[in-house]
Amino acid sequence: MTLAETRTDHPLEMTTAEEVDAVREVLTGAGLLTETVRFAFFAPEEPPKADVLAGASVDRRFRTVLLDLATGRSWDTVVSATAGEVVSSCELDPPVDGQPPIIDSEFEVIEDILNAEPAWLEALGKRGIEPASVRAVPLSAGVYDYPGEVGRRVVRAFGFRQDHEADHPWAHPIDGLVAYVDLTARTVDQVIDEAVVPVPSTSGNFDDPEVQGPPLDSLKPISITQPEGRSFTVEGNRVRWGKWDLRVGFNEREGLTLHQIAFDGRPVVYRASVAEMVVPYADPSPVRFWQNYFDCGEYMFARYADSLQLGCDCLGDIHYLDAVIADDFGRPKTIRNAICMHEEDYGVLWKHSDIFTGSAETRRQRRMVFSFFTPIGNYDYGFYWYLYLDGTIQLEVKATGIVFTAAAPSEYGTEVAPGLMAPFHQHLFSARLDMTVDGVRNAVEEVEAVRVPMGEGNPYGNAFARRRTRLTRESEARRSADGSVVRSWHVVNPDVTNALGQPVGYALIPEGKATMLADDASSIHARATFATHHLWVTRYDHAERYPAGDFVNQNPGGAGLPAWVAADRSIDGEDVVLWHTFGTTHFPRPEDWPVMPVDYTGFTLKPVGFFDRNPALDVPKPTGGHCSS
């Protein structure tokens, strides 16, 4: 059955090609889509939570950002595909609001703009490099003290030499050289030719059998067989597996989104997504101090999501979902097999062999996997949401692909191949977790271990206690992880208790790795303030969706979380949203070249008192396999 055949009339169903067409036609009819106007953004405009929960009539709306390539003017619009009308349209003020994201049409013209610039050609000539062999990448500019750039649509471009069609140019960075480009005027503002650095000649062609060497011949095949098929059902975008019930969504900015996640009929999370990510680089060199990429907010990275392949990306009995997005012209673009759903065996769930009764019981854990993978420039990111039989929810992000390269020796990078440098950087993600633990009214408690000094009541000094601190206002809920006291954050429902009289809750268990390392006075600190704390909690507001603001590209900073929490709203017994920063700090290794083995980061949501006992006691013994006693 196809998705269309099982589609239900629900406000959170996935976007269809017909809806993209309807939006384009409405905008054309309203005179907003002229010849030089492109879609810089397109995503479903989900209804407010209260409307969805109340079962209000379905009005399918979509938000688009329109960019006029000829003038640089842009408009933020909402269209109702149901009513066939423009609901709202307002022009952006780029110096204040920021710019729309960088789009495909702009990627395509960057080399032509550079090759028309004498200073760029001269710099290449000085290095003995043929302009036709140079691949240029338009990189988000950030905001620095260049007054002339204010309000203009600017990118900064590096060149990489490509020696033949199959040659990966990332191996041959043309360091010491950068161009600042005005995308609207299609001109080069300035070429900074800092130093002539030898272009590394090492091969980055990880896909070339000669570079790979003879294949390891000792690996026998592993096949996953599920003779009775999968144990989940899909109806439209609604998925049911075990006691789990949820909806799946997709948009070009966040990629995969999960909605109305419930266990055994009890709501846990209303909406979960990765709402932003930033990759700040550590090299202060005059040609690369500005390198900070917001792959969600500046590039809408899920536009480039892979069509996943059975046997390569996913093993087992797979159910794929296609995702429909819009291209630059507002035409529907279907990404086949964008979302992969399957079950995985996950080892032992619970087990005990008893000394007194002789009982020996083992149950196997499984997880339901929802994933997508997207390349963005040199990197590739995989996002894997896992639901487990015991009520645990987990997000695992996989980072792979090719490290960003440079050539000038630097104390802020690693030499990963002869003459090839990879600057230090971070990958910092912001998960937006709109919680509904047994209902909309929730509160957040910080829970940690406390050492107890030896003395009265603790005569032998072995005691340690647990401290719970209610975070009552937004200003108190900007928190950092602390592994030394196993700090976690429990989302509780103060109105609902379990059989033991404890408030039901789900704990956010952080990895607690480094948050943003750039200086507090840096531009990126102001633009990605979300990444300076592991946790923020806000009171739900339908308009608050992206933690670095709606328009991140060339945004001067302060948008999103820092602006919202200035209101310092109460979050105690309210509808709360958790914003969790997690990620990795990457000191590249030689082993990361020429293609990087997957690195992992993420977090876990674990039930704590949500159930009265182990909720997975009812998982039956494995049958049909090799486990029998």
For residues 439-468, which are near Ni ion according to CB under 5 A? none
Using the minimum distance from each CB to Ni ion, give the nearer residue, 69 or 422: 422
| Count, residues in the chain | 629
Please give the helix or strand (H or E) that residue 23 lies within, else none: helix 17-29
User: Distance between CA 99 and CA 93 in Å, rounded?
Assistant: 8
Active site residue 295: yes
In Å, what is the CA distance from 387 to each residue of 261, 395, 613?
A: 10, 9, 18
The SS3 assignment for 210 reads: helix
Given the residues 270, 293, 320, 379, the one annotated as active site? 379
Cβ 536 to Ni ion, closest distance in Å?
A: 24
Query: Which of 200, 605, 99 is CA-nearest to residue 406?
Result: 200
Using the minimum distance from each CB to Ni ion, give the nearer residue, 191 or 279: 279
Using the minimum distance from each CB to Ni ion, give the nearer residue, 133 or 585: 585
- Full 3-state SS string of 452-483: CCCECCECCCCCEEEEEEEECEHHHCCECCCH
Q: How many of the chain's residues bind Ni ion (CB under 5 A)?
A: 1
Cβ 424 to Ni ion, closest distance in Å?
A: 9
Using the minimum distance from each CB to Ni ion, give the nearer residue, 293 or 388: 293
| Half-sphere CA count of 14, side-chain side, radius 13 A | 33
Given the residues 295, 550, 572, 575, the one annotated as active site? 295
Structure tokens at 360: 């020996």
Using the minimum distance from each CB to Ni ion, give the nearer residue, 98 or 413: 413
Cβ 173 to Ni ion, closest distance in Å?
A: 16
Task: Give me the sign of the Cα torsion angle 549, 552, 555, 558.
Answer: positive
Stretch that binds Ni ion, among 26-34, 197-205, 354-362, 581-589 (CB under 5 A): 581-589
Using the minimum distance from each CB to Ni ion, give the nearer residue, 390 or 592: 592
Using the minimum distance from each CB to Ni ion, give the nearer residue, 341 or 421: 421
Stretch that binds Ni ion, among 78-86, 330-338, 359-367, 580-588 (CB under 5 A): 580-588
| Out of 153, 288, 364, 586, the residue judged to bind Ni ion by CB under 5 A | 586
Cβ 201 to Ni ion, closest distance in Å?
A: 23
User: Distance between CA 446 and CA 426 in Å, rounded?
Assistant: 26
Cβ 412 to Ni ion, closest distance in Å?
A: 14
Cβ 399 to Ni ion, closest distance in Å?
A: 6
Shortest-Cβ-distance residue relative to Ni ion: 586
- Full 3-state SS string of 489-540: EEEEEEEEECCCCCEEEEEEEECCCCCCCCCCCCHHHHHCHHHHCCEEEEEC
Stretch that binds Ni ion, among 45-53, 487-495, 556-564, 579-587 (CB under 5 A): 579-587
Backbone φ and ψ for 543, nearest 5 degrees, come out as -80, -10
Alpha helices in 380-522 (DSSP H): none
In DSSP terms, which residues pair with 62 in a beta bridge?
Answer: 44, 79
Stretch that binds Ni ion, among 25-33, 225-233, 531-539, 586-594 (CB under 5 A): 586-594
| Tally: H helices and E strands in the chain | 9, 29
Residue 626: Cβ-neighbour burial (10 angstroms; 0-12, 13-18, 19+) = exposed
Active site residue 306: no
User: Distance between CA 86 and CA 63 in Å, rounded?
Assistant: 10
Using the minimum distance from each CB to Ni ion, give the nearer residue, 127 or 586: 586
8 A C-beta contact, residue 461 and residue 453: yes
| Half-sphere CA count of 287, side-chain side, radius 13 A | 23
User: Distance between CA 548 and CA 627 in Å, rounded?
Assistant: 51
Cβ 130 to Ni ion, closest distance in Å?
A: 30
User: Distance between CA 89 and CA 349 in Å, rounded?
Assistant: 52
Cβ 476 to Ni ion, closest distance in Å?
A: 33
Stretch that binds Ni ion, among 119-127, 165-173, 359-367, 585-593 (CB under 5 A): 585-593
Structure tokens at 150: 């204010």
Residue ranges that bind Ni ion, judged by CB under 5 A = 586
| Active-site residue list | 295, 379
